[in-house]
Amino acid sequence: MKERFFKQSEGFVEQNVGDETILVPLVDSVAQMNEVITLNELGTFIYNLLKELMSFDELLKRVLDEYDVSEKDATEDLNNFLKSALEKKIIFERD
């Protein structure tokens, strides 16, 4: 199976509020307030890691190092975040 890599997409303004992050897409330098995306603590942690291109395996290792969670739960949570983030185009996948 080929390794998957991910990175943050450009074109979002981010604001941290406690453990959450609010992302607002910019279109032609104008914030699109009707498309606000809120990330929980785990989503914020993963999103911040993706300022750099990172593999799924490295992301999983970092989540396991940071949180007291089983590998099964961490894998499921990471897959769910990546799927949602790709659909919302806040990250992109690269080979």
Q: Would you give per-residue pLDDT tens digits along the chain (95 residues)? A: 678 999 999 989 899 998 899 998 887 666 566 678 999 999 999 999 999 999 999 999 999 999 999 999 999 999 999 999 999 999 999 97
Does some domain include residue 95?
no
Number of domains in the chain: 1
Does some domain include residue 69?
yes
Does some domain include residue 67?
yes
Structural domain for 16, as ranges: 5-89
Tokens of 9: 């997409």
Residue 36's pLDDT is: 87
Tokens of 68: 């007291």
**Beta-sheet strand order (sheet of 91-94):** 54-55, 5-8, 91-94
